[in-house]
């Protein structure tokens, strides 16, 4: 059986967990804290990042957007990408924005972990601008949707990416007022979070023991 190296808050890993569940692929969930010295993550990814999908023959598939692409190629049903090429490319573009917002939040999170006198305010502001710009963009896209899903009438990686970012953002930065600022984005997100495979993969914070920055 495959193993997925994951972390309890990881929005990147959540995309993969939902995709595997949607495709009915059984796997063992191995929860790690990739920042702690004791993690096994570097044994499976030279970039030392999770998620990592470890196959039965020991091959490792890593980088969430690539894992999803790999899954679509190897296990195409049910598809998590639209058949129309422009819609497929749009779904991947949405994932680019969501992953980028996650990246910016990770950078800001660790900048805030530095001693107060050593934090760079311009650097933090730059990361938060990316999140604010991304929220505006997601809101614009979501307002144009017809039904429960962002693209067409079925779940795609675009929905996985948006819910993964917003679900993590809601616990990592609970004081941000995005839900009142963008009520239609909130309503769309809540609709996704009510789905079974989203419910069972809700993020939760983790304790990082070792010094990271
Ligand atoms: N681009 C990567 C980002 C993955 C990532 O940053 N994972 C974090 C954990 S989490 O933020 O998702 O919880 C990690 O392993 N970080 C360890 C490191 O960067 O050394 C992906 O999409 O898979």
Contact 51, 6 (CB under 8 A): yes
Average pLDDT over residues 58-65: 98
Q: Residue 43 Cα, ligand 1 centroid: separation in angstroms?
A: 15
How much is the mean pLDDT over the chain? 97
User: In the prediction, which pLDDT does 108 show?
Assistant: 95
Domain ranges of the chain: 3-74, 85-200
SS3 state at 6: strand
What fold is seen in the domain 85-200? Glutathione S-transferase Yfyf (Class Pi); Chain A, domain 2 (1.20.1050)
Average pLDDT over residues 201-207: 94
Please state the φ and ψ torsions of residue 14, each to the nearest 5 degrees.
-65, -35
User: DSSP string covering 40-67, please?
Assistant: SGGGT-TT--S-EEEPTTS-EEESHHHH
What is the percent of the chain with per-residue pLDDT over 90, rounded to a whole number? 98
Interior/surface letters 63-74, b for 16+ CB within 10 angstroms, e for the rest: bbbebbbbbbee
Q: Regarding beta strands 2-6 and 52-54, do their DSSP bridges make them parallel or antiparallel, or are they unpaired?
A: antiparallel
3-74 maps to CATH 3.40.190.10? no
Residue nearest to atom 13 of ligand 1 (CA): 10
Average pLDDT over residues 19-36: 97
Q: What is the pLDDT of residues 160-169, one digit of tens each?
A: 999 999 999 9
User: In the prediction, which pLDDT does 41 show?
Assistant: 98
Cβ-based burial of 85 (10 A; exposed 0-12, middle 13-18, buried ≥19): exposed
Average pLDDT over residues 28-39: 96
User: For the chain, what's the residue count?
Assistant: 213
Of all atoms in ligand 1, which is nearest to the CA of residue 49? 15
Q: What is the pLDDT of residues 100-151, one digit of tens each?
A: 999 999 999 999 999 999 999 999 999 999 999 999 999 999 999 989 999 9
Closest C-alpha to 107, from 125, 133, 134, 132: 125
33 lines ligand 1 (CB under 6 A): no
What are the helix (H) ranges across the chain? Answer: 11-22, 64-74, 85-111, 121-143, 157-172, 178-181, 183-193, 196-199
> Sorting pLDDT into bands at 50, 70 and 90, what band is 192?
very high
4 lines ligand 1 (CB under 6 A): no
CA neighbours closer than 13 Å in the CB half-sphere of residue 40: 11
Please state the φ and ψ torsions of residue 18, each to the nearest 5 degrees.
-70, -40
172 lines ligand 1 (CB under 6 A): no
ipTM: 0.99
Ligand 1 pocket test, pick from 19, 38, 96, 106 with the greatest ligand atom count within 8 Å of Cβ, gives: 106
Q: Residue 194 Cα, ligand 1 centroid: separation in angstroms?
A: 26
User: In the prediction, which pLDDT does 158 show?
Assistant: 98
Residue nearest to atom 16 of ligand 1 (CA): 49
Q: Residue 202 Cα, ligand 1 centroid: separation in angstroms?
A: 17
SS3 state at 196: helix
């Amino acid at each position: 059986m495959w193993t997925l190296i994951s972390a309890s808050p990881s929005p990147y890993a959540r995309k993969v967990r939902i995709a595997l569940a949607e495709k009915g692929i059984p796997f063992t969930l191995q929860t790690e804290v990739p920042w702690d010295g004791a993690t096994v993550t570097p044994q499976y990814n030279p970039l030392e990042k999770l998620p990592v999908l470890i196959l039965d023959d020991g091959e490792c598939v890593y980088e969430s957007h690539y894992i999803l692409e790999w899954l679509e190629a190897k296990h195409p049903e049910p598809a998590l990408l639209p058949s129309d090429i422009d819609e497929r490319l749009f779904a991947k573009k949405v994932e680019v924005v969501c992953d980028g917002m996650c990246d910016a939040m990770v950078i800001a999170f660790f900048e805030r972990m530095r001693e107060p006198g050593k934090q760079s305010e311009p650097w933090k502001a730059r990361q938060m601008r990316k999140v604010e710009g991304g929220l505006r963009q997601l809101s614009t896209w979501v307002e144009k949707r017809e039904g429960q899903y962002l693209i067409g009438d079925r779940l795609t990686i675009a929905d996985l990416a948006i819910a993964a970012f917003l679900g993590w953002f809601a616990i990592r930065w609970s004081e941000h007022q995005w839900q009142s600022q963008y009520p239609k984005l909130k309503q769309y997100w809540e609709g996704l979070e009510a789905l079974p495979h989203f419910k069972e993969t809700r993020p939760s914070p983790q304790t990082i023991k070792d010094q990271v920055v």
